[in-house]
Structure 1
Amino acid sequence: MTNRWSRAQQLAADRGIDALLITPGADLRYLTGYHALPLERLTCLVLPAEGDPTLVVPTLEKPAAVASGVDLAIASWDETDDPFALVASLVPQAGTLGVDDHMWASRVFALQATFPDAKTVLAGPIVQELRLRKTPDEVDALREAGAAIDRVHERMGEWLRPGRTEREVGADIARAILDEGHATVDFVIVGSGPNGASPHHDVSDRVIEVGDPVVVDIGGTTPAGYCSDSTRNYLAGGTPPDGYADAYAALEAAQAAQREHARPGVTAESVDAVGRDLLTEAGYGDRFIHRTGHGIGQETHEEPYIVAGNTTVLEPGMAFSIEPGVYLDGRFGARIEDIAVCTDNGLEVLNNTPRNLVVLS
């Protein structure tokens, strides 16, 4: 992790930030390897632009921090100590401080009171610049996560059938996500029939019926700390409702075109446009109601976002989802989602289960 925080220090110095202050979350895990619990007691990485970093932790959390293998100094504080004063003692110069994007407001205010003359800015742009391009080891971790979630989709016929509720199917899927190698289940969406028209439906007590199209969007985090996310579409026997086959054919064509287009040298927004234009030509433009994708790594959603207006040029190591969707309120929905990573020569797709509508009997 030393290379990561030393690069963050250099970026902070280049931008006139005297110190980065990072509390529990993906940024702290990325910079130190420590997956700290977000508790009411302050844990904070103090990363000065010049000098050695220190991880500030409550005394009762120090054993966990040591066990995580952090390769930097640890300063602990007791119950009656002021942890913000301890942070201040570790910042040699405090003209401008960078605080992580997800820091609790109560802590931001406490730091501002502790450093009344300092300017406070977001540290997110610095850490995201590092996290944006995955190293080969990180790509390997994402590859393993993708294979693990693929194995869950391959088992869908064990659970998804008429007569069962979405909630029952979702519970089986959640257990399989863990069985297939994830450390945590991050989300399970089982959207049957009209519920598939809600992109973030979750699960409900609706009983799956014969002929229901079902959107299954699932993901988790592996022991290595990297996320999976894949969406496939299933038919619970019978025949799909009127209009579904045409909508799905248009969606398949759009997602395939986006996978073909995405590669180093093109912009994030151009990937979105390729699929959106095809869906618009097919008459479903107003039914594609979200961006094409999001970056993925130690968080399910991070940079780069594949959306209109994002002129970021894709580079090797950038990992993101490609997930156009079509949603007809009150009738059905469909979404096809793969995680992909830019390589030196093109694009590697990390999810490889069938993208066609899978009919389960």
Structure 2
Amino acid sequence: MSSVARLYPSRIAALRSKMKENDVDALVVSATSDMLYLIGRKLPNTERFNALILGQTGNPYLVVPELQYPLVASLAENAEIITWAETTDPIRVASDLLHRLDARSVAVDGLMRGAFLLRLQERVGRQVRFSDGTPLTAQVRLLKDADEIARLADAGGRFDAIWEAFWKNGRLVGVSEREVVEQIRKLLFAHGFDTMEWCDVGSGPNGASPLHHHSDRIIQPGDPVVIDFAGTIGGYFMDTCRTPVAGTPLPEFIEIHEITRKAHEAANERARPGVAAGDVDQAARDVIAKAGYGERFMHRLGHGLGLDAHEEPYIIAANRLRLQPGMVYSNEPGIYIDGKWGVRIEDIILMTSDGARSLNSATRDLVSMN
């Protein structure tokens, strides 16, 4: 994402359409990924108040600290930029704007700091109804546009190259989980990523905990190693997981790895436009349950991905949202055996008119490493 702020008129128009459908007079977006989505710039989310304020018509308002004006100056032709000095109350500025818009119904993004929201509610008065704006922005962001898909596809290809380099040149036997993290970190930055958001490495029994981070445990011969990492490039996330083995895998692990791979395939085969997200989760879950490991797959199948690592659509049993072309989500079934090991296989999936298209091509077969 360019460092120069720019408005995305089509995204703002789509959001305003949702505002009208839901009788929302004004939307207040704080310094979150929603702001990044709408103006192409991620402002600091600190104790200094930043907000993009949208009415149903007219130019957007951008309220920023005076010292941050250079970060958004490029928007001046298309937005009214209102700066506030260090001695000014920015909540009063925002409140005055809402009154100018004659806003009786105000939606606020779900990640606005509670202190800002409470002060804003007190300032505008009880006659104004506040609501959570997250469903509005989520509906608009749910379908990725061509530029976003291109960015995510590029990031997916870079992740494939990282996996190939790691399998070829990386080390597992006799090194610590923490050292594996450092191997992945170097590869991420070498392949152009801006950040490493996380790298979870669970070897042997540590892999039985789906959210194990990493430790100083030394990886032993025969240990499966669950490696789940994520990074950002140009503001967009990529996130994958594979479970290679240090040395020669035991037959029992080969079996559960193959079950997990088949569950991954079943989910992709079930995924089609119009199919409920929960039905895709169920397709993978059925494979694992039939093999006798149903209780050992204890998390959802997947989550959406884009400007946030976890966003809509969530691929979970209760979600009846119908998949549509342009949605992007993870497919990551897993089996976790307490005291022994775990396995997870994760790709990022783009829903197309023809069905599921993986943005990752790195092999999902079992890989043995030195």
For normalisation by structure 1, the TM-score amounts to 0.96
SS at match of 2:231: strand
User: How many aligned positions are there?
Assistant: 359
Q: Which residue of 2 aligns with 1:177?
A: 188
Match of 1:51 among 43, 53, 58: 58
Choose the corresponding residue for 2:171, options 124, 144, 160: 160
Residue 350 of structure 1: how far off its partner (Å)? 0.4
Q: Kindly state the Cα deviation for residue 69 of structure 1 after the two structures are TM-superposed.
A: 8.9
The root-mean-square deviation of aligned C-alpha atoms, in Å, is 1.4
Residues 343-358 of structure 1: pairs in structure 2 closer than 5 A: 343-358=352-367
Matches within 5 A, 1:251-262: 251-262=260-271
Alpha-carbon distance between aligned partners in 2 of 1:14 and 1:67, rounded to the nearest angstrom = 31
1:232 offset after TM fit, Å? 0.7
Identity level (%): 38
Cα distance between partner residues in 1 of 2:77 and 2:312? 25
Matches of 2:225 and 2:76, distance apart in 1: 43
Query: Contact between 1:210 and 1:238, CA under 8 Å: does it hold in 2?
Result: yes
Cα contact 1:213–1:233 (8 A) shared by 2? yes
Contact 1:218 1:230 in 2 (8 A): yes
Q: CA deviation at 1:261?
A: 1.4
Correspondence for 1:197: 208
Hey, what does 2:137 align to over in structure 1?
127
Give 2:119's aligned amino acid.
A
Distance 1:216 1:69, change over 3 A: farther
Contact map agreement 2:254 2:366 (CA 8 A) in 1: no
Q: Is the 8 A contact 1:34 1:70 kept in 2?
A: no
Q: Deviations over 1:191-239 (max 9, x none)?
A: 111111111211111111111100111111112x211011111111133
Secondary structure of the residue that 1:227 maps to in structure 2?
A: strand
Q: After TM superposition, what 4+ stretches of structure 1 lie above 6 angstroms from structure 2?
A: none
Instruction: Give the AA of the match of 1:229.
Output: D
- Tell me, which stretches of 5 or more residues in structure 1 are unaligned? none
Give, in whole Å, the separation in 2 of the partners of 1:175 and 1:72: 40
Which of 268, 274, 277 pairs up with 2:283? 274
Q: What is the deviation of 1:13?
A: 2.1
Change (3 A) 1:313 1:69: farther
In structure 1, distance between residues paired with 2:223 and 2:249? 8
Q: Residues 288, 69 of structure 1: CA spacing in aligned structure 2 closer, same or farther, 3 A cutoff?
A: farther
Partner-residue secondary structure (3-state), 2:244 = strand
Residue from 95, 98, 111 that aligns with 2:104 = 95
After superposition, the Cα gap between the structure-2 partners of 1:68 and 1:52, relative to the gap in structure 1 and judged at 3 Å, is: closer
Task: Determine if the alignment matches structure 1 residue 77 to structure 2 residue 84.
Answer: yes
Counterpart contact for 2:266–2:284, Cα < 8 Å? yes
The code of the aligned residue for 1:144 comes to D
- 1:329 corresponds, among 330, 333, 338, to 338
Contact 1:196 1:333 in 2 (8 A): yes
**Secondary structure in 2 aligned to 1:150?**
helix
